[in-house]
Amino acid sequence: MREVVLDTETTGLSTSKGHRIIEIGAVELIDRRLTGNNFQVYINPERSVDPGAYAVHGIGESFLADKPVFAEVMQDFLDYLQNSQVIIHNAPFDLEFLNYELRIHNKTQKKIEEYCSVVDTLKMARKKHPGQRNSLDALCKRYEIDNSNRELHGALLDSEILAQVYLFMTGGQSTLFAEGAPQESNKPTISSAPLQQQTPTKVIKASDEELALHEAYMTNV
């Protein structure tokens, strides 16, 4: 069984305000084990990044200026999703942005849900742990998963963490890696820059109001 654990980073919170995707990260699971066949790409959104979003992921406009636009990576991304079940935390958010990008490219383009089935781990966590915090950080704490290197969000890093959370939520996992698969799974299938370059040295702090809005939308506590 092939599963793809996926996450995105964006310029802001809503496509209704013209916000766009700036990073896609995904890891592949075959029979519940990581294969190392990852997908990761930074994307030029052709617009500014909101300060509140920048405070969360640290990915700025100067870093994205020379990256490909979504149309240039779209087919590779869709090919990667083929024949898989996609795992996303708070799936409606990521699907809204992914399908928005597809519509910009082609108004008759199929939705992501027509390429693959989708499992929302936030919905799963709410059912499994009703009345509790079910953000990715909260689930890491609950399942004793080390996320100490997650000072800023990143799509590939968050996908790797979510893969561990998903496996624990669905019955536990003795090992994440398939036999013979490389233990270092950070090598992307597609990448515009090394993962560590996504974090600029200067971070503009978001206002309390911006952070509260982001927390309410993204973590759904």
pTM over 0.85: no
Q: What is the dihedral of CA 171, 177, 179, 181, to 10 degrees?
A: 160
How many other CB atoms sit within 10 Å of the CB of residue 118? 19
The pLDDT tens digits for 65-92 are 999 999 999 999 999 999 999 999 999 9
Q: Which residue segment(s) compose the domain that 197 sits in?
A: 2-218
Residue 1: the pLDDT is 87
Angle at 156 between CA 114 and CA 50, to 5 degrees: 90
Q: What is the DSSP letter of 72?
A: H
b/e for 95-106, b at 16 or more Cβ within 10 A?
bbbbbbbbebee
How much is the average pLDDT of 145-172? Answer: 91
pLDDT-derived band at 181, boundaries 50, 70, 90: low
Three-state DSSP string of 9-56:
EECCCCHHHCCCEEEEEEEEEECCEECCCEEEEECCCCCCCCHHHHHH
Residue 126: the pLDDT is 97
SS3 122: helix
CATH number of the domain where residue 167 is located: 3.30.420.10
Q: Checking phi first, is residue 220 left (phi over 0); if not, alpha (psi -120 to 50) or beta?
A: left
Q: Which amino acid is at 118?
A: V
Q: What is the DSSP letter of 174?
A: S
Q: Which of 28-42, 141-155, 183-197, 204-218 has the highest mean pLDDT?
A: 28-42
Helices (H), the chain: 51-57, 61-64, 70-81, 91-105, 121-128, 136-142, 155-169, 208-218
The count of structural domains within the chain is 1
Q: Could you give the residue numbers annotated as active site?
A: 153
